[in-house]
Structures are given as structure tokens and as C-alpha cells.
Amino acid sequence: MKLILFGPPGAGKGTQARRLQETHGIVQLSTGDMLRAEVDSGSELGLQAKEIMEAGQLVPDDLIIAMISDRIDQEDCKDGFILDGFPRTKPQAEALGAMLAEKGLDIDHVIEIKVDDDAMVKRITGRFSCDGCGAGYHDEFQKPKKDGVCDQCGGTEFTRRADDNAETVSVRLQAYHEQTSPIFSYYKEKGLMEEVDGMAEIDAVTEQMNALLG
Ligand code: AMP
């Protein structure tokens, strides 16, 4: 199964994608995670992306498209994948279509996680994740059961993203509405667009998603 998840920053794409990865055995491809790994490794791509990401803007399409095309060719993607954070612009959506056609693949589902923008700033500014397994937490809405210890893997090191601050969040939300939302008509025309209520509890969102995926 090949799936695209849409939603503004804070909508829960990463959380839901990790759950689908476990239940459906398909790999989560987060372009944000891939770029953060490039930044941490100090690669050429990471150096190009760092400042753009810290400002909340979008990394140039050609860099992202090349990165995702290489990733899809890897062995672990052969049973399917969840695209989380890609495509984010019309040229990326068109390049994805062409790239998949060339590889003889197709997208099965496109799901938008619908949320209220106002709630996203609060969600994003309080979030952090486990360095060991990537499990996501929140200062207010989802604290680890034991303070400072990951519920999933017992890890004790956590990270907050450099771009999860109030100023950058508003630029990221604006980028989503101006550059990403216009792609929906492209997928609507293909009859692929579906949506879930992302303001519901995390488990309820997963249930809605599973109902769509069958
Ligand atoms: P995310 O983790 O999806 O919120 O992405 C974090 C940041 O990485 C974004 O604010 C962008 O700067 C960059 N980024 C991630 N995915 C893309 C993409 N598909 N196109 C352009 N920039 C991206």
C-alpha cells in the first residue's frame, strides 16, 4: 500500500504514520526526518537545508524530489510506504506522479488530517520526542508515564525541534496553506482525496484512518 498523509505542522502526521508503519508493515518516509538527519550529519544537502528549515520555509523542490526518489528505490519500500511531509508543492506532486509511473507504481490513498490552525501552535510548541525510538510526547497533552523516561523504549534522552517555536510555526502554517493545500485539487481529480478529523483523540484518528484503509 502506498499512502500520502497531508496535514499542517502539528496535525499528527508523524504519530499516525508511525502507528500505520507498525500495523500495516509499511515504511514511514518523512522528508522532515530525512532532512534533519542530513543536517545532523553535516552533509552538503544538510548544509543547504539548515537555515531554510530553521526559518520555517520550504527546501527547494529539486533537492527534495531527488532525495525521495532515491529513498523509494530502497529495498524496505518494496511493500509500500507512507509519505509524511511530501509532496508539499504542486511541482513535487507532479514529480512524484512521474517518478512513480516510471517505477511502475501508484498511490492508493491520500488522506488529509484536518485540524484547526489555532490549536496547532500550542500542540507544536510543547512537543518533544525520544531520541531512541522517535516516540512523540507533549508537555501538556501527552507526558511520558514516568517523567524523563520513554514509555516505549525506556530511553532517557529527548529532543525538541529547532523549528518548533511560535514564530517559525506561523511561517510553516502559512507555507502549508499557500503551497501545500493547492495540491488537494490535483488528488481530488484523481479521486484519491480522503479526510479524517485530526482534532479527535489520537486513537480515534487512527481508527478513522484504518476504516479508510480497510
Ligand atoms: P516537517 O518535519 O515535515 O515539519 O518538515 C520540517 C521542515 O523540513 C519544513 O518546515 C521544511 O523546511 C522542510 N521540508 C520537509 N519536507 C519538505 C518538502 N517536501 N519540501 C520542502 N521542504 C520540506
- pLDDT at residue number 26: 93
Rounded Cα gap, residues 84 and 20, in angstroms:
11
- Find out whether the beta carbon of 12 lies less than 6 Å from any atom of ligand 1: no
- pLDDT at residue number 13: 94
Q: Which of 2, 78, 88, 145 is catalytic?
A: 88
Active site residue 172: yes
Model pTM score: 0.93
Q: Which ranges of the chain have pLDDT less than 70?
A: none
- pLDDT at residue number 42: 97
Active site residue 123: no
Ligand 1 atom with minimal separation from the 172 CA: 10
Rounded Cα gap, residues 166 and 152, in angstroms:
28
- Find out whether the beta carbon of 52 lies less than 6 Å from any atom of ligand 1: yes
Cα separations (Å) of 88 from 2, 8, 172, 176, 195?
17, 10, 11, 7, 17
User: Shortest CA distance to 108 belongs to which of 33, 194, 48?
Assistant: 194
- Find out whether the beta carbon of 32 lies less than 6 Å from any atom of ligand 1: yes
pLDDT per residue as tens digits for the range 101-121: 999 999 999 999 999 988 999
Active site residue 13: yes
- pLDDT at residue number 12: 93
Ligand 1 atom with minimal separation from the 9 CA: 4
- pLDDT at residue number 214: 84
Helices marked H in the chain: 13-24, 31-41, 44-54, 61-72, 90-103, 117-125, 166-175, 184-189, 202-213
